[in-house]
Amino acid sequence: MSNEAKQIWIISFTIALVMSISCQKLSLRNEEVIHGDETYYLINPDIILDAIAKGQTTIFDLQTVTPQPALSQSLSTVQWTQKDYLSIVEALHQFVWHESIEDWSLRYILFSLNCDDVGKGPQSAYFIFYKVVENNQQKTRFEHQIYIDPSNNSAGWSEVEYRPSLVNQDPIELSKHKISITDALQIAENNGGQEARTETANKCTVNGEYINSFDNWRISYVKTLDLFAIDVNAFTGNYKIVEVQTK
């Protein structure tokens, strides 16, 4: 991953984090936000999926420092599907909390890749899961945020608590989707994305974002600012171009 691409990823990731909590902005004024632990692990992208399939559990090695984009030498790119990333999420959640992710609801997804890797699929992922727990007639909402970055040999998690819980969330129901992130990326490519990245000589990144308050994948081609963005409906595959950078 080039330094330019890493800088773009950091900018895109920061923007995505801000957007992912924007729907809660008003209610957070009355919710106490408690930031919990944050932990990162080294993973081996070459073997992790096979290890999970075999039921192995010693696949996450604790890191003593927070990884940075250039912490370790990048491995070759992966060709992981949405299902592959979710398998790692399930394994990590079980490893950390001894609880299946199936008991939690999903509210936010972000996939990212360099434009050079557009034919290989997502090269990193970020998920936010939540659960509302009632105790002594007060509802508390817990969030588990999970990061997977195979180019940096890294996976991690963080936890946030909101109390009292004042936000009503609608979960993302992936089992009902007909369009995965791979499908959405291909639709974006076929309808303006390929042209947008070619004009930059692939010096850009592609983000695929899903927020629980919408039914669409937002696919954005980014070089500091958005070059091209398209919404792809996760249930039908219908699309709408929402932004094209003027020349």
Whole-angstrom distance, CA of residue 88 vs CA of residue 78? 13
- 211-222 in b/e form (b: 16+ CB < 10 A) is bbeebbbbbbbb
The pLDDT, as a whole number, for residue 64 is: 78
Amino acid at 56: Q
The pLDDT, as a whole number, for residue 247 is: 55
Residue matched to tokens 């930059």: 200
Query: Residue 191 burial (CB < 10 Å; 0-12/13-18/19+)?
Result: middle
Collapsing DSSP states into helix, strand and coil, what is residue 133?
Answer: strand
pLDDT, greater one: 65 or 209: 209
The arithmetic mean of pLDDT across residues 62-85, rounded, is 75
Closest CA to 128 of 113, 147, 141: 147
Other CB atoms closer than 10 Å to residue 69's CB: what's the count? 18
Q: How many helices (H) and strands (E) does the chain have?
A: 5, 10
Question: Using an 8 Å Cβ cutoff, are 154 and 147 in contact?
Answer: yes
The pLDDT, as a whole number, for residue 53 is: 96
pLDDT, greater one: 166 or 25: 166
Share of the chain above pLDDT 90, in %: 73
The pLDDT, as a whole number, for residue 33 is: 93
Element (H, E) at 3: helix 3-20
Q: Is the pLDDT of residue 70 over 70?
A: no
The pLDDT, as a whole number, for residue 214 is: 93
User: Where are any strands of DSSP class E within the chain?
Assistant: 32-42, 61-62, 105-114, 124-135, 138-149, 154-163, 205-211, 216-223, 225-233, 239-244
Q: How sure is the predictor about 225, in pLDDT bands with cuts at 50, 70 and 90? A: confident
In sequence order, what are the beta bridge partners of 146?
Answer: 127, 157
Collapsing DSSP states into helix, strand and coil, what is residue 202?
Answer: coil
Q: Is the pLDDT of residue 69 over 70?
A: no
Question: Using an 8 Å Cβ cutoff, are 222 and 5 in contact?
Answer: no
Give the range among 6-15, 37-46, 192-201 with minimum mean pLDDT.
6-15
pLDDT, greater one: 65 or 110: 110
The pair phi, psi for residue 209, each rounded to 5°, is -120, 140
DSSP-derived secondary structure letter, 45: T
DSSP-derived secondary structure letter, 92: H
Collapsing DSSP states into helix, strand and coil, what is residue 62?
Answer: strand
Over residues 125-143, the pLDDT tens digits come to 999 999 999 988 889 999 9
The pLDDT, as a whole number, for residue 106 is: 97
The arithmetic mean of pLDDT across residues 230-237, rounded, is 98
Can you give the pTM of this predicted structure? 0.85
Closest CA to 237 of 221, 220, 219, 222: 219
Q: Is the pLDDT of residue 231 over 70?
A: yes
The pair phi, psi for residue 112, each rounded to 5°, is -145, 155
Average pLDDT in the chain:
87
The pLDDT, as a whole number, for residue 28 is: 46
The pLDDT, as a whole number, for residue 14 is: 53
Q: Is the pLDDT of residue 97 over 50?
A: yes
Q: How sure is the predictor about 5, in pLDDT bands with cuts at 50, 70 and 90? A: very low
Question: Using an 8 Å Cβ cutoff, are 33 and 160 in contact?
Answer: yes
